[in-house]
Amino acid sequence: MRFIYFPLLLITLAVIFSQPAEAAFPEVSSSRYDIASDPLLLIWTFGTEKRKPVVKATGEMTADEKKLARWKEKQAHLWGQLEVGKRFTINASAYTAAADECGKDDGITASGLKVTENRTLACPPNFPFGAKIAIDGMGVYRCEDRGGAIKGNKIDIYMETKGEAFAFGRQHLEAEIVD
């Protein structure tokens, strides 16, 4: 079997070397190769090139976006009842992801998302997960969680520390559904 490949190798080599170098190897330039500046060799050997951030391709969704999209399908009836632009007063309090408050301390909300300060709200059941609510003086938050005492106009705002949550206390604030 080896003897069959040898003539093929000779023919291939003859074809390659019978052509000018530029035709056989178009990627080879006339300048000398500098091993010290070969980017692939440097990356492979020393890992000197910084990793470039992975850019999300158009149309791809993050894991959080996929979770919220599934919730949007499941809670379509709630999205249909949502009155965008409606202003209302909320009875706001704050909460943390501590086990003594939530019964667990992993920071995973009822929607499956990880709590995030300045984003996460625990809303009453009539608000769908993913609904955005602008709270005057605080910013725009997203409904991602539920709570046993969260009913009517009560809303819990996630805060990182108990000190922040206690300092916030309970406040009556104006809010608006933005999405």
- CB within 8 A of 21, min separation 6: which ones? 28
**Cα(17)–Cα(96) distance, integer angstroms:** 73
- pLDDT for res 176: 95
Give the lowest-confidence range in 2-6, 62-66, 72-76, 133-137: 2-6
Which of the four CATH numbers 3.50.50.60, 2.40.40.10, 2.40.10.170, 3.40.50.1370 does domain 63-177 have? Answer: 2.40.40.10
Whether the full predicted model's pTM is greater than 0.85, yes or no, is no
Q: Where are the domains of the chain?
A: 2-46, 63-177
Return the amino acid letter for 169.
Answer: G
State the chain's mean pLDDT as an integer.
Answer: 81
Taking 60 as the threshold, does the pLDDT of residue 125 lie above it? yes
The two three-digit tokens of residue 58, written as one number:
């158009």
